[in-house]
């Protein structure tokens, strides 16, 4: 079973995920390679992020095979990101629409999703108190 812990930045996803043990955790990691620009076609963005997400989903599958479950510190596919950015008016739905069919075919989705809720003032305090990350 692949389990996803999702929530806003500084919600405590990493801390919660690590409670199960590092051997079960799939951490979030930085993108590799070329930086895409706003002028690049949606299909280019979709393929780039699909490959990035495959590199992240494969370790989740390996951990699941070895231990029976894996905990992902945020969704490997991050399907919510492009959808949220489009809904907020920062992007169009084009990248999301290009990526969804590719992701279903290439990697699939996790088995369970849990949302780490947090009050805004607590999130701000945790963000400001965590000097190990820029958010």
Write the pLDDT tens digit of every residue in 52-67. Answer: 888 888 889 999 999 9
Instruction: Please tell me whether residue 94 adopts helix, strand or coil conformation.
Output: helix
Instruction: Please tell me whether residue 35 adopts helix, strand or coil conformation.
Output: coil
Place of tokens 């812990």: 5
Average pLDDT for 68-90 = 81
pLDDT at 29: 67
Listed residue (71, 56, 74, 61) closest to 18, CA to CA? 71
**Taking the model in full, what pTM does it have?**
0.70
What is d(CA 113, CA 92) in angstroms, rounded to the nearest whole number? 25
Strands 112-115, 25-26: pairing is unpaired
pLDDT tens for 65-77 read 999 999 998 887 7
- Return the axis-axis angle of helices 94-106 and 79-87, rounded to nearest 10°: 170
pLDDT at 23: 94
2 has pLDDT over 70: yes
């Amino acid at each position: 079973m692949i389990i996803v812990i999702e929530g806003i930045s500084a919600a405590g996803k990493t801390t919660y995920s690590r409670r199960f043990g590092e051997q079960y955790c799939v951490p979030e990691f930085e993108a590799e390679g070329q930086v895409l620009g706003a002028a690049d076609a949606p299909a280019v963005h979709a393929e780039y992020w699909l490959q990035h997400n495959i590199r992240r989903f494969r370790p989740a599958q390996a951990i699941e095979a070895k231990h029976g479950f894996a905990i992902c510190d945020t969704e490997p596919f991050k399907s919510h990101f492009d959808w949220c950015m489009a809904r907020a008016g920062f992007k169009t739905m084009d990248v999301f629409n290009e990526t969804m069919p590719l992701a279903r075919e290439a990697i699939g989705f996790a088995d369970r999703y849990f949302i780490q809720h947090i009050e805004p003032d607590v999130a701000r305090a945790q963000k400001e108190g965590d000097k190990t990350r820029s958010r």
